[in-house]
């Protein structure tokens, strides 16, 4: 009896797993098709100066308007694209599209915002990356200092000599390099000294633990860690961008400890390129602080 029930459960489990595997394969096969049909697009999220509230840059975040499944967030297909290697064409498209859109942004005063693009480990490892970026900058006419590449800590830890050389070559072109989600990986600070990094993006997890209403001792420790991280980054000549800034209180406190920039719901949600343009045309209208972006929050 028990054996039969167990067997049935197993059969059910296998069927479910098969189903999931088939769904993943189908989704993966749909990526190149979607690229061809123009189903991917980019939203841009403000990277805001905490000193004067100006728009320093925007992060390009890929979305997929899937014909059957609706708009998909990157978390549901980037991992798959990384596993299958499809991140190379997809990431290449993101890079090109971000440069193409950003070159049209002009600011009434000061520098137009830079565009910050996430790079997966496979893209960094590919020998052709530097060539690709150089050709792209030439083709679009985007000034190199208006492109930032975001690389995670774990990418840094798993890449070898060759990619480090690639990052140096990119930095030599004048491209900005940011470490994304800092604090969630090994946080090995040694590589920051040896790499041409310009910006540290501190993970939202760090920011969220700050300034609990009851001011509990744990959160004070978190505050002190973040404050020392900011001093350390400044000593290394890096600017610091805090991710996941969801409240005015967090922004105030981050400003007080000298954090340079912020990104998060409180400062502006991801939005399509035309909203970036609208903001640049009339900054006094403000960023889309509460505007719907069609993306549920995490």
The footprint of Mg ion (CB under 5 A) covers 118, 150, 180-181, 243
Q: Is residue 124 involved in binding ligand C2E (CB under 6 A)? A: no
CB of 120 to ligand C2E, least distance (A): 4
- Tell me which stretch binds ligand C2E (CB under 6 A): 48-56, 136-144, 223-231, 239-247: 239-247
Q: Is residue 262 involved in binding ligand C2E (CB under 6 A)? A: no
CA dist 233 → 63, 194, 222, 238, 245 (Å): 32, 13, 16, 5, 19
CB of 252 to ligand C2E, least distance (A): 15
CB of 88 to ligand C2E, least distance (A): 10
User: Is 86 or 137 the residue whose CB approaches ligand C2E more closely?
Assistant: 86
User: Is 17 or 37 the residue whose CB approaches ligand C2E more closely?
Assistant: 37
Q: Is residue 270 involved in binding ligand C2E (CB under 6 A)? A: yes
As a whole number of angstroms, the distance between CA 98 and CA 223 comes to: 34
Residue 28 backbone phi and psi in degrees, to 5:
-65, -45
User: Is 74 or 258 the residue whose CB approaches Mg ion more closely?
Assistant: 74
> Which residue in the set 46, 57, 163, 204 belongs to the binding site for ligand C2E (CB under 6 A)?
204
Q: Is residue 48 involved in binding ligand C2E (CB under 6 A)? A: no
Partner from ligand C2E, Mg ion, none contacting 138, C-beta within 5 to 8 A by type: none
CB of 212 to ligand C2E, least distance (A): 17
Give strand pairing partners of 262.
Answer: 48, 242
Q: Which residues contribute to the site for ligand C2E (CB under 6 A)?
A: 45, 61-62, 73-75, 78, 87, 91, 94, 118, 120, 150, 180-181, 204, 243-246, 263-265, 270, 297-298
């Amino acid at each position: 009896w028990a054996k039969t029930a167990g067997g049935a459960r197993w059969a059910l489990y296998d069927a479910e797993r098969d189903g999931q595997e088939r769904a993943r394969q189908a989704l993966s096969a749909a990526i190149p098709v979607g690229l061809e049909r123009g189903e991917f697009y980019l939203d841009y999220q403000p990277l805001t100066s905490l000193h004067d509230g100006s728009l320093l840059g925007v992060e390009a975040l890929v979305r997929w308007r899937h014909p059957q499944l609706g708009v998909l967030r990157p978390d549901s297909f980037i991992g798959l694209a990384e596993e299958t290697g499809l991140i190379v064409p997809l990431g290449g498209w993101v890079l090109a599209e971000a440069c193409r859109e950003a070159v049209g942004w002009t600011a009434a005063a000061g520098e137009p915002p830079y565009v910050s693009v996430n790079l997966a480990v496979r893209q960094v490892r590919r020998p052709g990356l530097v060539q690709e970026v150089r050709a792209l900058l030439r083709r679009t006419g985007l000034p190199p200092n208006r492109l930032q590449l975001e690389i995670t800590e774990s990418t840094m830890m798993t890449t070898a000599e060759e990619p480090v050389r690639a990052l140096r070559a990119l930095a030599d072109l004048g491209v900005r390099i940011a470490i994304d989600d800092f604090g969630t990986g090994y946080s090995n600070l040694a590589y920051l000294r040896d790499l041409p990094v310009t910006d540290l993006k501190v993970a939202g997890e760090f920011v969220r633990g700050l300034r609990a209403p009851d001011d509990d001792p744990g959160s004070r420790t978190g505050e002190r860690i973040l404050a020392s991280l900011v001093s350390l980054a400044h000593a290394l000549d890096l600017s610091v961008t805090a991710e996941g800034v969801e409240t005015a209180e967090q922004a105030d406190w981050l400003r007080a400890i000298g954090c340079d920039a912020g990104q998060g719901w409180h400062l502006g949600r991801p939005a399509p390129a035309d909203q970036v343009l609208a903001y640049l045309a009339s900054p006094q209208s403000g960023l889309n602080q509460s505007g719907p972006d069609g993306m549920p929050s995490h």
